[in-house]
Amino acid sequence: MTIRDVAQRAGVSKTTVSRVLNGRDELDARTAARVRAVIDELGYVPNARAVAFARGTTHVVAMLLPSLTWPWIGEVVQAAIEAIEDEGYGMLVFTTTQGEESMRRFTEHVSARAFDGLLVVEPEGTLDYITRLHDEGLPVVLIDDRGHEPRFGSVATTNRLGALAAAHHLLGIGRRAPLVISGDPRFGCVQDRLAGFAEGFAAAGRTLDPLHVVEGDFSYESGQAAVHRALEAGLEFDSLFVHNDTMAMAAMTELRRAGLRIPDDVAVVGFDDLPFAAQTDPPLTTVHQPIREMGQVAARALLASFRGTPVPNEPIVLPTSFTVRASTVG
């Protein structure tokens, strides 16, 4: 069944049928009623893409992500979906887990105008491409800008201040010899967390020893490996500041395996405050990153841009907070 069949049965042009489908008010009421009756009679269902093209909108938002396996990604995506669906939009989710092939499929959807705007948790190496899409007129909002400060709207959090709060907490409970398990230093958020933590100790007259900064990659395995390497190297530490909760949980497992008590021998602080952080053994003290709020705020800013409210050029920065649990204070 096509729009041509509807037009022939109703005795009107295809343009008239299209106007009825798109809710145009300038049609004669009797003609519009006749066309709707034929649509109902024939059971005609318009092609969604064709209708979207005619209207100039799809009522769909896309989200581009590195992967769905990062622990906090699920929280961001769910929050964004809730905000988008509240306003009657749908969501297309793209990941780049298959590299160039994933980006090829994404580019096909861009070319087909399959969505009205884009939310991005930036896959590595895609910022220039995303910037070009924005410059060509696609509304874009970046979530977790990682210190890149793009030329378009973004939502970030206070990574440096969160790490500074972690330093103040550890110093406040008498811990003077921290081991830091960082993320990949290419990320701006990692640089901010390292700087904020070092700043806190410097203000107390203590220099953070570079040998006590062990690089991880945010995975569980890298958290275990980092603690194992530190212990094998004979490093002495009374606390851990870990750049995400997943590595922190792994680090606590490795500490217990080595016979160390938490927090008596080693106090542990994470970063993110994911739901499982309250369920670790012992429950994890951590920097609370407003992950869900970041997804919601980014989605609402993008939707508002469809209604003519520009996304701010300056990053929207949501504050971190600090959650104290038994991994530092028994």
Residues 143 and 202 both lie in one domain? no
Kind plus residue range of the DSSP H or E element containing 91: strand 90-95
Identify the pLDDT of residue 124: 83
* Structural domains in the chain (count): 3
Identify the pLDDT of residue 23: 66
* pLDDT digits 0-9 by tens, 291-318: 999 999 999 999 999 999 988 888 899 9
Residues 141 and 250 both lie in one domain? no
Identify the pLDDT of residue 57: 77
pLDDT at 148 over 90: no
Residues 111 and 178 both lie in one domain? no
| Residue 205 counted as domain residue | yes
Kind plus residue range of the DSSP H or E element containing 198: helix 188-203
Most confident of 65-69, 127-131, 151-155, 190-194: 190-194
**What's the full length of the chain, in residues?**
330
Select the more confidently predicted residue: 159 or 113: 159
Separation of alpha carbons 217 and 317, rounded Å = 24
Residues 92 and 186 both lie in one domain? no
| Residue 9 counted as domain residue | yes
| Residue 181 counted as domain residue | yes
Residues 166 and 133 both lie in one domain? no
Residues 191 and 218 both lie in one domain? yes
| Residue 324 counted as domain residue | no
Domain ranges, residue 42: 3-55
CATH number of the domain enclosing 25: 1.10.260.40
CATH number of the domain enclosing 117: 3.40.50.2300
| Residue 32 counted as domain residue | yes
How far is residue 217 from each of residues 133, 176, 185, 246, 248, measured CA to CA in Å? 29, 25, 9, 10, 12
Separation of alpha carbons 315 and 318, rounded Å = 9
Separation of alpha carbons 251 and 231, rounded Å = 11
Range 125-128 contact pairs with CB under 8 angstroms and sequence separation of 24 or more: 126/64, 126/96
| Residue 89 counted as domain residue | yes
| Residue 328 counted as domain residue | no
Residues 13 and 28 both lie in one domain? yes
The strands making up 90-95's β-sheet, listed across from edge to edge, are 90-95, 60-65, 117-120, 140-143, 153-157, 316-318
pTM over 0.85: no
Based on the number of CB atoms within 10 Å of its own CB, is 194 exposed (0-12), middle (13-18) or buried (19 or more)?
buried
Separation of alpha carbons 2 and 149, rounded Å = 48
